[in-house]
Structure formats: C-alpha cells, structure tokens
Amino acid sequence: MLDMGSVDWLWVFIAAIASMITGAVWYGIFQDQWLKASGKKKSDMSSASMSYLWSFIFAVVMAYLLDVLSNSGLTEPTFASGAMLGFWLWLGFVLTTMGTNTAFQDKNWNLLMINAGNQLLAMVVMGGILAIY
C-alpha cells in the first residue's frame, strides 16, 4: 500500500516550481512553433494568468504523486532513478493520454510533440528532485 502521508511538502512545492521553470524555458524556446501549431497569437497570451495558476496546481498534484511513488520503494534515492520514474510515468500515462486526445480531437500533432516534450522534461526533473529529497 502506498503511504500517502509521508510527503515532504517543501520538496513537492520546490519540484512544482521547477516544473514551472522548465515550462517557461521550454515554451520560450518553442514559442513560435507553439503559437503556429495552436493557432494563437502572442497577444492572446496576455490574459493567461489563470492558466498559469492551474498549471501550478496541476504541477503540485503531479509532484505529490511522484513523491509518493518515489518514496514507495519504486526508485533508489538517486536523481537518475527518480528521473527514470518520471520518464516511465510520462510514457505510460501522459503521452498516451495526450496522444489519444490528439487523435480523437483531430488536433495538431506538432502541438502534441511540443506540449508532450514539456511534460516529459517536467516529469523527469520533478522525479529526479523528489527521489533525492
């Protein structure tokens, strides 16, 4: 049984903040491609403050569960082991769910690759951080 109570909330929030930072860097690099693939303009992003809040809330939830799993004996207390946990969870749950949604909603596959790449980076970084603390 997973121990949902042995979570170090400080590190959960640090990991969630790291996820937001990696997202800022990722989308900074792929901003033009993301805007084109999403059909948005730069001016559309000026009212995205609620989106950032929701992104942080979801990052906290993800970090919480990564912390629970990394402390359950699934990983060794190393950055690499936690990063691999993040990778496998991304591959098994995040990419597959995003891919299914993209396929059924006739969405842009380039947009999927950009967004999924961000989620991969976030989960690898969060998993690594949480495994060592």
Query: Domain segments of the chain: what residues?
Result: 9-132
Q: What is the dihedral of CA 127, 102, 43, 32, to 10 degrees?
A: 70
Confidence of residue 36 (pLDDT cuts 50, 70, 90): very high
- DSSP collapsed to 3 states, the chain: CCCCCCCCHHHHHHHHHHHHHHHHHHHHHCHHHHHHHHCCCHHHHHHCHHHHHHHHHHHHHHHHHHHHHHCCCCCCCCHHHHHHHHHHHHHHHHHHHHHHHHHHCCCCHHHHHHHHHHHHHHHHHHHHHHHHC
To the nearest whole number, what is the mean pLDDT of the chain? 94
**pLDDT, position 6:** 84
Tens digits of residue pLDDT in 5-30: 889 999 999 999 999 999 999 999 99
93-122, pLDDT tens digit by residue? 999 999 999 999 988 999 999 999 999 999
The model's pTM? 0.92
Environment class of residue 42 by beta-carbon count within 10 Å: exposed (0-12), middle (13-18) or buried (19+)? exposed
What local confidence, expressed as pLDDT, does residue 72 receive? 87
Question: Given a cut of 80, is residue 59 above it in pLDDT?
Answer: yes
